[in-house]
Protein backbone atom coordinates (compact mmCIF):
# COMPACT_ATOMS: atom_id res chain seq x y z
CA UNK A 1 0.00 0.00 0.00
CA UNK A 2 1.23 3.42 -0.89
CA UNK A 3 1.36 5.48 2.27
CA UNK A 4 1.36 9.13 1.37
CA UNK A 5 1.62 10.49 4.87
CA UNK A 6 3.48 9.62 7.95
CA UNK A 7 1.86 9.82 11.39
CA UNK A 8 4.68 10.67 13.75
CA UNK A 9 3.71 9.05 17.05
CA UNK A 10 6.71 10.54 18.78
CA UNK A 11 5.59 14.05 17.81
CA UNK A 12 2.11 13.27 19.12
CA UNK A 13 3.44 12.03 22.44
CA UNK A 14 5.85 14.95 22.73
CA UNK A 15 2.98 17.39 22.47
CA UNK A 16 1.08 15.92 25.40
CA UNK A 17 2.69 17.82 28.30
CA UNK A 18 2.10 21.13 26.55
CA UNK A 19 -1.47 20.24 25.63
CA UNK A 20 -2.20 19.11 29.19
CA UNK A 21 -1.55 22.66 30.35
CA UNK A 22 -4.74 23.59 28.48
CA UNK A 23 -6.89 21.02 30.25
CA UNK A 24 -7.40 22.96 33.51
CA UNK A 25 -8.60 25.94 31.48
CA UNK A 26 -10.94 23.85 29.39
CA UNK A 27 -12.33 22.22 32.52
CA UNK A 28 -12.59 25.48 34.41
CA UNK A 29 -14.49 27.21 31.61
CA UNK A 30 -16.69 24.19 30.95
CA UNK A 31 -17.66 23.28 34.47
CA UNK A 32 -17.60 26.83 35.82
CA UNK A 33 -19.88 27.89 32.99
CA UNK A 34 -22.09 24.83 33.32
CA UNK A 35 -22.48 25.27 37.08
CA UNK A 36 -23.61 28.87 36.66
CA UNK A 37 -25.63 27.84 33.61
CA UNK A 38 -27.43 25.24 35.70
CA UNK A 39 -28.45 27.86 38.26
CA UNK A 40 -29.57 30.17 35.44
CA UNK A 41 -31.40 27.25 33.86
CA UNK A 42 -33.31 26.42 37.03
CA UNK A 43 -34.33 30.04 37.58
CA UNK A 44 -35.33 30.80 33.99
CA UNK A 45 -36.76 27.33 33.34
CA UNK A 46 -39.12 27.80 36.29
CA UNK A 47 -39.93 31.39 35.34
CA UNK A 48 -40.72 30.09 31.86
CA UNK A 49 -43.58 27.99 33.28
CA UNK A 50 -44.69 30.49 35.90
CA UNK A 51 -48.41 31.24 35.73
CA UNK A 52 -47.63 34.96 35.86
CA UNK A 53 -47.18 36.13 32.27
CA UNK A 54 -45.06 39.10 33.30
CA UNK A 55 -42.47 36.67 34.68
CA UNK A 56 -42.74 34.30 31.73
CA UNK A 57 -41.84 36.63 28.94
CA UNK A 58 -38.41 37.80 30.13
CA UNK A 59 -37.52 34.13 30.49
CA UNK A 60 -38.71 33.40 26.96
CA UNK A 61 -36.75 36.39 25.63
CA UNK A 62 -33.57 35.27 27.37
CA UNK A 63 -33.91 31.69 26.15
CA UNK A 64 -34.62 32.66 22.56
CA UNK A 65 -31.76 35.17 22.39
CA UNK A 66 -29.03 32.99 23.85
CA UNK A 67 -30.20 29.81 22.18
CA UNK A 68 -30.65 31.52 18.85
CA UNK A 69 -27.23 33.15 18.51
CA UNK A 70 -23.88 31.36 18.11
CA UNK A 71 -21.81 30.94 21.25
CA UNK A 72 -18.79 32.17 19.28
CA UNK A 73 -20.57 35.46 18.58
CA UNK A 74 -21.60 35.64 22.22
CA UNK A 75 -18.05 35.28 23.50
CA UNK A 76 -16.71 37.78 20.94
CA UNK A 77 -19.42 40.21 21.99
CA UNK A 78 -18.57 39.77 25.67
CA UNK A 79 -14.80 39.89 25.24
CA UNK A 80 -14.45 42.60 22.58
CA UNK A 81 -17.81 44.34 22.67
CA UNK A 82 -18.72 44.70 26.32
CA UNK A 83 -15.47 46.47 27.35
CA UNK A 84 -16.55 49.39 25.16
CA UNK A 85 -19.61 49.77 27.35
CA UNK A 86 -17.92 48.95 30.64
CA UNK A 87 -14.88 51.06 29.89
CA UNK A 88 -12.44 48.37 30.95
CA UNK A 89 -11.21 45.02 29.63
CA UNK A 90 -12.78 41.74 30.59
CA UNK A 91 -10.39 38.91 31.13
CA UNK A 92 -10.63 36.03 28.69
CA UNK A 93 -11.40 33.42 31.32
CA UNK A 94 -14.32 35.44 32.70
CA UNK A 95 -15.62 36.04 29.18
CA UNK A 96 -15.41 32.33 28.40
CA UNK A 97 -17.20 31.26 31.57
CA UNK A 98 -19.85 33.90 31.06
CA UNK A 99 -20.48 32.82 27.47
CA UNK A 100 -20.84 29.15 28.43
CA UNK A 101 -23.04 30.06 31.40
CA UNK A 102 -25.39 32.22 29.34
CA UNK A 103 -25.50 29.86 26.39
CA UNK A 104 -25.87 26.62 28.36
CA UNK A 105 -28.26 28.41 30.73
CA UNK A 106 -30.67 29.01 27.86
CA UNK A 107 -30.65 25.36 26.83
CA UNK A 108 -30.81 24.14 30.42
CA UNK A 109 -33.84 26.39 31.01
CA UNK A 110 -35.67 24.39 28.38
CA UNK A 111 -34.41 21.12 29.86
CA UNK A 112 -35.68 22.18 33.29
CA UNK A 113 -39.02 23.23 31.85
CA UNK A 114 -39.41 19.93 30.01
CA UNK A 115 -38.38 17.93 33.06
CA UNK A 116 -40.78 19.67 35.41
CA UNK A 117 -43.65 19.57 32.92
CA UNK A 118 -43.12 15.87 32.35
CA UNK A 119 -44.16 15.03 35.91
CA UNK A 120 -47.77 13.84 35.98
CA UNK A 121 -50.12 16.38 37.53
CA UNK A 122 -51.40 13.70 39.89
CA UNK A 123 -48.07 13.90 41.72
CA UNK A 124 -48.61 17.53 42.61
CA UNK A 125 -52.24 16.90 43.49
CA UNK A 126 -51.28 14.05 45.79
CA UNK A 127 -48.79 16.31 47.52
CA UNK A 128 -51.24 19.17 47.89
CA UNK A 129 -53.98 16.81 49.09
CA UNK A 130 -51.67 15.79 51.95
CA UNK A 131 -51.42 19.41 53.03
CA UNK A 132 -48.01 20.21 51.54
CA UNK A 133 -47.66 23.80 50.39
CA UNK A 134 -46.93 24.44 46.71
CA UNK A 135 -43.21 25.03 47.38
CA UNK A 136 -43.04 21.87 49.50
CA UNK A 137 -44.79 19.82 46.82
CA UNK A 138 -42.29 21.15 44.32
CA UNK A 139 -39.25 20.56 46.47
CA UNK A 140 -40.03 17.10 47.83
CA UNK A 141 -42.11 15.57 45.05
CA UNK A 142 -41.79 17.24 41.67
CA UNK A 143 -38.18 18.44 41.58
CA UNK A 144 -36.48 15.17 42.61
CA UNK A 145 -38.38 13.29 39.91
CA UNK A 146 -37.86 16.00 37.30
CA UNK A 147 -34.13 16.16 38.02
CA UNK A 148 -33.80 12.45 37.46
CA UNK A 149 -35.53 12.73 34.10
CA UNK A 150 -33.32 15.67 33.17
CA UNK A 151 -30.03 13.81 33.60
CA UNK A 152 -29.63 12.50 30.03
CA UNK A 153 -30.43 15.90 28.53
CA UNK A 154 -28.13 17.65 31.01
CA UNK A 155 -25.38 15.23 30.05
CA UNK A 156 -25.86 16.14 26.41
CA UNK A 157 -25.66 19.82 27.23
CA UNK A 158 -22.52 19.25 29.30
CA UNK A 159 -20.80 17.56 26.38
CA UNK A 160 -21.90 20.24 23.92
CA UNK A 161 -20.63 22.99 26.21
CA UNK A 162 -17.28 21.29 26.80
CA UNK A 163 -16.77 21.16 23.06
CA UNK A 164 -17.96 24.75 22.68
CA UNK A 165 -15.05 25.91 24.83
CA UNK A 166 -12.75 25.02 21.90
CA UNK A 167 -14.11 28.10 20.14
CA UNK A 168 -12.65 30.29 22.86
CA UNK A 169 -9.18 29.86 21.41
CA UNK A 170 -10.18 32.98 19.48
CA UNK A 171 -10.08 35.15 22.58
CA UNK A 172 -6.70 33.79 23.54
CA UNK A 173 -7.61 31.83 26.62
CA UNK A 174 -5.07 29.00 26.91
CA UNK A 175 -7.48 26.09 26.65
CA UNK A 176 -6.83 22.88 24.77
CA UNK A 177 -7.19 24.10 21.20
CA UNK A 178 -5.24 27.28 21.88
CA UNK A 179 -2.41 25.23 23.37
CA UNK A 180 -2.46 23.04 20.28
CA UNK A 181 -2.28 26.01 17.96
CA UNK A 182 0.65 27.49 19.87
CA UNK A 183 2.48 24.17 19.79
CA UNK A 184 1.86 23.64 16.08
CA UNK A 185 3.15 27.14 15.30
CA UNK A 186 6.64 25.99 16.24
CA UNK A 187 6.58 22.29 15.31
CA UNK A 188 4.31 22.20 12.22
CA UNK A 189 2.92 18.86 13.39
CA UNK A 190 -0.75 19.72 12.82
CA UNK A 191 -1.85 16.15 12.10
CA UNK A 192 -0.44 14.69 15.29
CA UNK A 193 -1.32 17.57 17.59
CA UNK A 194 -4.93 18.04 16.48
CA UNK A 195 -5.32 14.28 16.74
CA UNK A 196 -4.10 14.45 20.33
CA UNK A 197 -6.34 17.44 21.02
CA UNK A 198 -9.30 15.45 19.74
CA UNK A 199 -8.33 12.50 21.94
CA UNK A 200 -8.10 14.70 25.02
CA UNK A 201 -11.61 16.08 24.36
CA UNK A 202 -12.81 12.50 24.08
CA UNK A 203 -11.22 11.62 27.42
CA UNK A 204 -13.11 14.49 29.07
CA UNK A 205 -16.46 13.85 27.40
CA UNK A 206 -16.32 10.07 27.85
CA UNK A 207 -15.55 10.54 31.55
CA UNK A 208 -18.58 12.78 31.87
CA UNK A 209 -20.78 10.28 29.99
CA UNK A 210 -19.61 7.53 32.28
CA UNK A 211 -20.18 9.56 35.43
CA UNK A 212 -23.68 10.45 34.29
CA UNK A 213 -24.48 6.85 33.47
CA UNK A 214 -23.43 5.89 36.99
CA UNK A 215 -25.55 8.65 38.46
CA UNK A 216 -28.53 7.65 36.36
CA UNK A 217 -28.38 3.96 37.15
CA UNK A 218 -28.00 4.66 40.85
CA UNK A 219 -30.81 7.18 40.81
CA UNK A 220 -33.18 4.83 39.03
CA UNK A 221 -33.07 2.12 41.68
CA UNK A 222 -36.57 1.23 42.71
CA UNK A 223 -38.36 3.20 40.04
CA UNK B 1 -76.91 -2.60 67.19
CA UNK B 2 -76.06 -2.40 70.88
CA UNK B 3 -76.89 0.55 73.08
CA UNK B 4 -73.47 2.03 72.85
CA UNK B 5 -73.39 2.19 69.06
CA UNK B 6 -76.96 3.45 68.95
CA UNK B 7 -76.02 6.24 71.28
CA UNK B 8 -73.04 6.96 69.13
CA UNK B 9 -75.26 6.99 66.07
CA UNK B 10 -77.67 9.42 67.70
CA UNK B 11 -74.85 11.63 68.73
CA UNK B 12 -73.63 11.53 65.15
CA UNK B 13 -77.03 12.53 63.89
CA UNK B 14 -77.09 15.55 66.13
CA UNK B 15 -73.60 16.69 65.28
CA UNK B 16 -73.17 19.60 62.93
CA UNK B 17 -72.05 18.60 59.44
CA UNK B 18 -68.31 18.30 58.84
CA UNK B 19 -68.80 19.10 55.14
CA UNK B 20 -71.28 21.61 53.83
CA UNK B 21 -71.61 22.62 50.19
CA UNK B 22 -73.99 25.51 49.53
CA UNK B 23 -75.10 26.42 46.01
CA UNK B 24 -71.79 25.36 44.50
CA UNK B 25 -71.45 26.03 40.80
CA UNK B 26 -68.55 25.10 38.60
CA UNK B 27 -67.95 25.69 34.91
CA UNK B 28 -65.34 24.27 32.57
CA UNK B 29 -65.63 26.78 29.77
CA UNK B 30 -69.18 26.38 28.48
CA UNK B 31 -69.73 23.22 30.45
CA UNK B 32 -71.72 23.65 33.64
CA UNK B 33 -70.10 20.79 35.59
CA UNK B 34 -71.66 21.41 38.97
CA UNK B 35 -75.05 23.07 39.26
CA UNK B 36 -76.22 24.51 42.56
CA UNK B 37 -74.88 21.63 44.59
CA UNK B 38 -76.18 21.57 48.17
CA UNK B 39 -74.77 18.80 50.28
CA UNK B 40 -74.06 18.11 53.93
CA UNK B 41 -72.08 15.25 55.37
CA UNK B 42 -72.09 14.54 59.11
CA UNK B 43 -69.13 13.08 61.00
CA UNK B 44 -68.93 9.31 60.69
CA UNK B 45 -71.12 9.23 57.64
CA UNK B 46 -70.13 7.24 54.55
CA UNK B 47 -71.46 8.88 51.40
CA UNK B 48 -71.11 7.09 48.09
CA UNK B 49 -71.50 9.19 44.97
CA UNK B 50 -72.45 7.43 41.77
CA UNK B 51 -73.14 8.63 38.27
CA UNK B 52 -72.04 8.24 34.68
CA UNK B 53 -68.60 9.43 33.62
CA UNK B 54 -68.65 13.16 33.04
CA UNK B 55 -71.54 13.63 35.46
CA UNK B 56 -69.41 15.76 37.77
CA UNK B 57 -69.00 13.30 40.63
CA UNK B 58 -65.19 13.41 40.69
CA UNK B 59 -65.23 17.17 40.28
CA UNK B 60 -67.55 17.39 43.26
CA UNK B 61 -65.21 15.68 45.70
CA UNK B 62 -62.18 17.41 44.21
CA UNK B 63 -63.84 20.71 45.11
CA UNK B 64 -64.05 19.64 48.74
CA UNK B 65 -60.25 19.75 49.17
CA UNK B 66 -59.72 22.57 46.72
CA UNK B 67 -58.09 20.59 43.92
CA UNK B 68 -60.78 22.13 41.71
CA UNK B 69 -61.87 25.72 41.92
CA UNK B 70 -65.55 26.59 41.69
CA UNK B 71 -67.14 29.83 40.53
CA UNK B 72 -69.93 30.46 42.99
CA UNK B 73 -71.33 29.17 46.24
CA UNK B 74 -69.28 28.08 49.18
CA UNK B 75 -67.86 25.00 50.81
CA UNK B 76 -67.19 24.54 54.49
CA UNK B 77 -65.06 21.70 55.78
CA UNK B 78 -64.73 21.30 59.53
CA UNK B 79 -65.33 24.99 60.09
CA UNK B 80 -62.93 26.18 57.38
CA UNK B 81 -64.37 27.94 54.39
CA UNK B 82 -63.50 27.55 50.72
CA UNK B 83 -64.40 30.47 48.50
CA UNK B 84 -65.01 30.70 44.74
CA UNK B 85 -62.06 31.11 42.35
CA UNK B 86 -59.63 29.57 44.82
CA UNK B 87 -59.65 32.71 46.95
CA UNK B 88 -59.65 30.75 50.16
CA UNK B 89 -56.33 31.87 51.60
CA UNK B 90 -54.97 29.92 54.53
CA UNK B 91 -58.08 27.85 55.11
CA UNK B 92 -57.35 25.89 51.91
CA UNK B 93 -54.19 24.40 53.38
CA UNK B 94 -55.86 23.81 56.74
CA UNK B 95 -58.59 21.86 54.98
CA UNK B 96 -56.07 19.82 53.02
CA UNK B 97 -54.25 18.79 56.17
CA UNK B 98 -57.55 17.60 57.67
CA UNK B 99 -58.87 15.87 54.54
CA UNK B 100 -57.22 12.82 53.02
CA UNK B 101 -57.64 11.73 49.43
CA UNK B 102 -57.15 8.51 47.53
CA UNK B 103 -56.86 8.80 43.76
CA UNK B 104 -57.81 6.53 40.92
CA UNK B 105 -54.19 6.36 39.73
CA UNK B 106 -52.77 5.99 43.27
CA UNK B 107 -50.34 8.88 42.68
CA UNK B 108 -47.74 7.43 45.00
CA UNK B 109 -44.39 9.19 44.90
CA UNK B 110 -42.26 6.85 42.77
CA UNK B 111 -38.92 8.25 43.96
CA UNK B 112 -39.66 7.53 47.61
CA UNK B 113 -39.90 4.23 49.47
CA UNK B 114 -43.28 3.09 50.73
CA UNK B 115 -42.29 4.23 54.22
CA UNK B 116 -41.17 7.67 53.01
CA UNK B 117 -44.38 8.04 51.03
CA UNK B 118 -46.30 7.61 54.27
CA UNK B 119 -44.08 9.72 56.54
CA UNK B 120 -43.42 12.68 54.20
CA UNK B 121 -46.50 14.74 55.02
CA UNK B 122 -46.63 14.07 58.78
CA UNK B 123 -42.99 15.21 59.03
CA UNK B 124 -43.14 18.18 56.64
CA UNK B 125 -46.67 19.39 57.31
CA UNK B 126 -47.44 18.34 60.86
CA UNK B 127 -43.85 18.73 61.97
CA UNK B 128 -43.79 15.36 63.69
CA UNK B 129 -40.44 14.01 64.78
CA UNK B 130 -39.24 11.23 62.49
CA UNK B 131 -39.67 8.57 65.20
CA UNK B 132 -43.31 9.32 65.71
CA UNK B 133 -43.98 9.44 61.97
CA UNK B 134 -42.25 6.10 61.45
CA UNK B 135 -44.16 4.50 64.27
CA UNK B 136 -47.48 5.69 62.88
CA UNK B 137 -46.49 4.64 59.37
CA UNK B 138 -45.63 1.10 60.44
CA UNK B 139 -48.91 0.82 62.31
CA UNK B 140 -50.89 2.02 59.29
CA UNK B 141 -49.03 -0.21 56.85
CA UNK B 142 -49.81 -3.13 59.12
CA UNK B 143 -53.44 -2.11 59.20
CA UNK B 144 -53.67 -2.21 55.42
CA UNK B 145 -51.63 -5.42 55.28
CA UNK B 146 -48.40 -4.28 53.65
CA UNK B 147 -46.00 -3.89 56.57
CA UNK B 148 -43.44 -6.17 54.91
CA UNK B 149 -43.22 -3.91 51.81
CA UNK B 150 -42.20 -0.78 53.72
CA UNK B 151 -38.71 -0.56 52.26
CA UNK B 152 -39.76 -1.11 48.66
CA UNK B 153 -40.53 1.54 46.09
CA UNK B 154 -44.06 1.90 44.67
CA UNK B 155 -42.97 0.54 41.28
CA UNK B 156 -42.22 -2.81 42.89
CA UNK B 157 -45.75 -3.25 44.23
CA UNK B 158 -48.95 -4.51 42.61
CA UNK B 159 -51.75 -2.06 41.92
CA UNK B 160 -53.74 -3.25 44.90
CA UNK B 161 -50.76 -2.87 47.19
CA UNK B 162 -50.03 0.59 45.82
CA UNK B 163 -53.57 1.72 46.46
CA UNK B 164 -53.37 0.43 50.03
CA UNK B 165 -50.14 2.36 50.52
CA UNK B 166 -51.95 5.42 49.18
CA UNK B 167 -54.65 4.84 51.77
CA UNK B 168 -52.05 4.53 54.55
CA UNK B 169 -50.33 7.68 53.29
CA UNK B 170 -53.56 9.65 53.53
CA UNK B 171 -54.43 8.22 56.94
CA UNK B 172 -51.00 9.14 58.31
CA UNK B 173 -52.15 12.74 58.45
CA UNK B 174 -54.95 11.64 60.79
CA UNK B 175 -57.62 13.17 58.56
CA UNK B 176 -61.12 13.92 59.77
CA UNK B 177 -62.54 13.20 56.33
CA UNK B 178 -61.45 10.88 53.55
CA UNK B 179 -62.18 11.40 49.87
CA UNK B 180 -61.99 8.50 47.43
CA UNK B 181 -61.96 9.24 43.71
CA UNK B 182 -62.71 5.94 41.97
CA UNK B 183 -60.18 4.09 44.11
CA UNK B 184 -60.60 0.74 42.37
CA UNK B 185 -61.18 1.81 38.76
CA UNK B 186 -57.54 1.40 37.73
CA UNK B 187 -57.13 -1.98 39.40
CA UNK B 188 -57.12 -5.46 37.95
CA UNK B 189 -60.29 -7.27 39.04
CA UNK B 190 -58.49 -9.62 41.40
CA UNK B 191 -57.10 -6.67 43.39
CA UNK B 192 -60.30 -4.73 43.87
CA UNK B 193 -61.33 -6.82 46.86
CA UNK B 194 -58.26 -6.06 48.96
CA UNK B 195 -58.70 -2.32 48.52
CA UNK B 196 -62.42 -2.43 49.27
CA UNK B 197 -61.66 -4.51 52.37
CA UNK B 198 -59.31 -1.85 53.66
CA UNK B 199 -61.94 0.82 52.99
CA UNK B 200 -64.62 -1.25 54.68
CA UNK B 201 -62.47 -1.51 57.81
CA UNK B 202 -61.98 2.23 57.76
CA UNK B 203 -65.71 2.83 57.45
CA UNK B 204 -66.38 0.47 60.35
CA UNK B 205 -63.88 2.44 62.43
CA UNK B 206 -66.11 5.47 62.03
CA UNK B 207 -64.20 7.48 59.42
CA UNK B 208 -66.21 10.07 57.53
CA UNK B 209 -65.92 9.16 53.87
CA UNK B 210 -67.01 10.53 50.52
CA UNK B 211 -66.52 7.88 47.88
CA UNK B 212 -66.89 8.08 44.13
CA UNK B 213 -67.11 4.54 42.85
CA UNK B 214 -68.73 2.17 40.39
CA UNK B 215 -68.70 -0.69 42.89
CA UNK B 216 -72.41 -0.91 43.57
CA UNK B 217 -72.13 -3.96 45.81
CA UNK B 218 -69.68 -2.11 48.01
CA UNK B 219 -71.92 0.97 48.04
CA UNK B 220 -74.90 -1.08 49.10
CA UNK B 221 -72.94 -2.62 51.93
CA UNK B 222 -70.94 0.29 53.30
CA UNK B 223 -72.77 3.49 52.41
CA UNK B 224 -75.02 5.35 54.81
CA UNK B 225 -76.20 7.40 51.88
CA UNK B 226 -75.95 7.05 48.13
CA UNK B 227 -76.04 10.12 45.93
CA UNK B 228 -76.78 9.88 42.24
CA UNK B 229 -75.39 12.70 40.15
CA UNK B 230 -76.37 13.46 36.59
CA UNK B 231 -75.35 16.46 34.52
CA UNK B 232 -73.79 18.20 37.48
CA UNK B 233 -76.90 17.93 39.63
CA UNK B 234 -77.84 15.75 42.55
CA UNK B 235 -80.76 13.84 41.09
CA UNK B 236 -81.49 11.46 43.90
CA UNK B 237 -80.10 10.56 47.30
CA UNK B 238 -80.93 8.36 50.23
CA UNK B 239 -80.02 5.11 51.94
CA UNK B 240 -78.57 2.54 49.53
CA UNK B 241 -81.57 0.25 49.66
CA UNK B 242 -83.75 3.12 48.48
CA UNK B 243 -81.52 4.66 45.83
CA UNK B 244 -79.98 1.47 44.48
CA UNK B 245 -82.85 -0.97 44.85
CA UNK B 246 -85.85 1.26 44.42
CA UNK B 247 -84.81 4.40 42.56
CA UNK B 248 -87.56 6.94 42.06
CA UNK B 249 -85.99 9.07 39.38
CA UNK B 250 -86.08 7.93 35.78
CA UNK B 251 -82.46 8.83 35.17
CA UNK B 252 -81.30 6.93 38.24
CA UNK B 253 -83.27 3.91 37.07
CA UNK B 254 -81.75 4.00 33.62
CA UNK B 255 -78.21 4.52 35.01
CA UNK B 256 -78.54 1.65 37.46
CA UNK B 257 -80.02 -0.70 34.89
CA UNK B 258 -76.96 -0.04 32.73
CA UNK B 259 -74.47 -0.41 35.58
CA UNK B 260 -76.00 -3.37 37.39
CA UNK B 261 -76.56 -5.46 34.28
CA UNK B 262 -73.01 -6.75 34.20
Query: Which pLDDT tens digit goes with each residue over B118-154?
Result: 999 999 999 999 999 999 999 999 999 999 999 999 9
**Rounded Cα gap, residues B159 and B188, in angstroms:** 7
CATH number of the domain at A71, please.
Answer: 1.10.3720.10
Q: Looking at the 3D structure of chain A, how many domains does it have? A: 1
* Cβ–Cβ gap B124/A145 under 8 Å: no
Give me the residues paired with residue B32 across strands: B27
> Is residue B163 less than 8 Å (CB to CB) from chain A?
no
**Considering the domain boundaries, does residue A188 fall inside one?**
no
* Cβ–Cβ gap B96/A128 under 8 Å: yes
Alpha helices in chain B (DSSP H): 3-14, 57-64, 90-98, 114-124, 130-143, 159-171, 189-204, 216-222, 240-243, 250-260
Task: Spell out which residues of chain A touch residue B116, defining contact as CB-CB under 8 Å.
Answer: none
* Cβ–Cβ gap A131/B120 under 8 Å: no
**Considering the domain boundaries, does residue B154 fall inside one?**
yes
The per-residue pLDDT for A216 is 81
**Considering the domain boundaries, does residue A146 fall inside one?**
yes
Residue A222, pLDDT > 50, answer no
Nearest Cα neighbor of B73 from B34, B103, B123, B18 is: B34
Comparing B227 with B8, which gets the higher pLDDT? B227
The per-residue pLDDT for B89 is 82
Q: For residue B58, what are the domain limits? A: 19-260
The per-residue pLDDT for B88 is 81
**Considering the domain boundaries, does residue A1 fall inside one?**
no
Rounded to two decimals, the ipTM of the complex is 0.91
**Considering the domain boundaries, does residue B3 fall inside one?**
no
> Is residue B105 less than 8 Å (CB to CB) from chain A?
yes
**Considering the domain boundaries, does residue A153 fall inside one?**
yes
* Cβ neighbours for B139, distance < 8 A, ≥ 6 positions apart: none
**Rounded Cα gap, residues A177 and B65, in angstroms:** 60
| Residue of B103, B152, B173 lying closest to A131 (CB–CB) | B173
The per-residue pLDDT for A223 is 44
Indicate the pairing of strand B225-230 with strand B208-212.
unpaired
Q: Are A184 and A197 in contact (CB under 8 A)?
A: no
A:B CB pairs within 8 Å: 71
* Cβ neighbours for A8, distance < 8 A, ≥ 6 positions apart: A189, A191, A192
The residue among A115, A131, A143, A147 with the most chain B CBs within 10 A of its CB, best to mutate, is A131
**Rounded Cα gap, residues B118 and B134, in angstroms:** 8
Among chain B residues, the shortest Cα distance to A124 is held by B107
What distance, in Å, lies between the first and last C-alpha atoms of chain A? 56
Region A130-138: what's the mean pLDDT? 96
- At A218, the pLDDT band (50, 70, 90 cuts) reads confident
**Rounded Cα gap, residues A67 and A107, in angstroms:** 6
**Rounded Cα gap, residues B166 and B169, in angstroms:** 5
**Rounded Cα gap, residues A188 and A14, in angstroms:** 13
The per-residue pLDDT for B90 is 87
Q: Is residue A66 packed enough to be buried (19+ CB in 10 Å), middle (13-18) or exposed (0-12)?
A: buried
**Considering the domain boundaries, does residue B218 fall inside one?**
yes
Residue A149, pLDDT > 90, answer yes
**Considering the domain boundaries, does residue A79 fall inside one?**
yes
- pLDDT tens digits for range B48-86: 999 998 899 999 999 999 999 999 999 999 999 999 988
> Whole-model pTM above 0.95?
no
CATH number of the domain at B243, please.
Answer: 3.40.50.300
* Cβ–Cβ gap B65/A120 under 8 Å: no
For residue B71, give the DSSP letter: S
* Cβ–Cβ gap A140/B124 under 8 Å: yes
**Considering the domain boundaries, does residue A84 fall inside one?**
yes
Q: Are A38 and A203 in contact (CB under 8 A)?
A: no
Distances (CA, A) of B239 to A188, B61, B127: 95, 19, 40
Q: For residue A80, what are the domain limits? A: 27-173
Region A35-51: what's the mean pLDDT? 96
**Considering the domain boundaries, does residue A10 fall inside one?**
no
**Considering the domain boundaries, does residue B196 fall inside one?**
yes
**Considering the domain boundaries, does residue B46 fall inside one?**
yes
Q: Are A96 and A173 in contact (CB under 8 A)?
A: yes
Amino acid sequence: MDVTFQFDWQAAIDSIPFLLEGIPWTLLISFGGLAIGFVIGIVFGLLRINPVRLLRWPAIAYIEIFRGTPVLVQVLFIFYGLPQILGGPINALTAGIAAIALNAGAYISEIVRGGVQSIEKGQREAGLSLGLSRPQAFRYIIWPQALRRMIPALGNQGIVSIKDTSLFSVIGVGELVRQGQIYIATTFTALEVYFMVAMLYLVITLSLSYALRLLESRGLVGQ
Amino acid sequence: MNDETREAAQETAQQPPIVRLAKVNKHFGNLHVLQDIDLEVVPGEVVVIVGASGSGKSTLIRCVNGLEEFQSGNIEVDGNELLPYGKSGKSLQTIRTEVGMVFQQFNLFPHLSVLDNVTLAPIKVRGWPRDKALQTAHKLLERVGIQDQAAKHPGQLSGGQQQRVALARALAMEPRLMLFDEPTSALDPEMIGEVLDAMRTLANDGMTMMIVTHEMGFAREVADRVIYIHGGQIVEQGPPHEVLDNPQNERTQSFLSRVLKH
